[in-house]
Amino acid sequence: MTFTNFKLAKMFEHGVNFSCQMCGDCCRGFDEGEVFLYRNDIYRLAKFLNLTGNNGLRKFAKRYLKVIENTFFWKEDNAERGKTFRFNTLAFSFTGEDEHCHFLVNSRCTVHQARPFQCRCFPFWKMMVSSRKNVINYSKKCKGLRLLQGHYYSRREILSWANEEYRIEKEYFIEMRKNDFNILKVYPFLTEDMIDK
């Protein structure tokens, strides 16, 4: 695999120990964030839930997704002062008083095998592994990051997760740009009313 060259924060340079402590806080978007999904996540999860075909995808979208307006930022490759794009993307809608993901039950993920990439690769998001400041920030929210114990992830594994995340996001940007940044064209199973939610 060819890696996009980005600098890892010092604490990740020789790998790191991390094990999820199963508190479920990231599945509540840490009270202020979102859980984003991309095309493959949607198809995988909808299939896992037996919501297939156009109708299935429509149902899946209505039940579990929301459009987040203008929250996706993308800066063109190698463009220090390049144009930054800002556009809509999809995330899980949350439920309950504590605003949790629909699939979180008793602090456990009930769709573990089919969970979105964002859930799978946490905490090795590019913005995290390339910034000590972000790790410190997130370690206030995630016990696993505070402890840094348990399973050892090598530098190569960390880069591999972060690169895959970058690839997925870039693919989404390209798809959106091709479709005039209209999320309804990219995901025809969404309906207009979801944009105003």
Residues at the contact surface with ligand SF4, assessed by CB under 6 A: 20-27, 35, 101, 103-104, 109, 111, 115-116, 119, 122, 142-144
- Taking the least distance from each CB to ligand SF4, the nearer of 122 and 187 is 122
User: d(Cα 132, Cα 161) in Å, to the nearest integer?
Assistant: 17
Tokens encoding 143? 């016990």
Q: What HEC string does 60-77 produce?
A: HHHHHEEEEEEEEEEECC
Closer CB to ligand SF4, residue 25 or residue 169? 25
Cα distances (Å, whole numbers) of residue 56 to 42, 77, 146: 11, 36, 40
For ligand SF4, give the closer residue by CB, 22 or 174.
Answer: 22
CB of 21 to ligand SF4, least distance (A): 4
Bridge-partner residues for 109, per DSSP?
Answer: 104
Which CB sits closer to ligand SF4, 87 or 144?
144
Least distance CB 166 / ligand SF4 (angstroms): 20
H or E segment to which residue 174 belongs: helix 155-178
d(CA 50, CA 71): 30
CA distance 114 to 92: 14
Shortest gap between Cβ of 104 and ligand SF4 (angstroms)? 4
| Cβ 2 to ligand SF4 shortest distance, Å | 28
Of 5 and 113, which CB lies nearer to ligand SF4 in the complex structure?
113
Q: How far is the CB of 3 from ligand SF4 (least distance, A)?
A: 24
**What SS3 class is residue 101?**
strand
> Would you say 172 and 85 are in contact if contact means Cβ atoms under 8 Å apart?
no
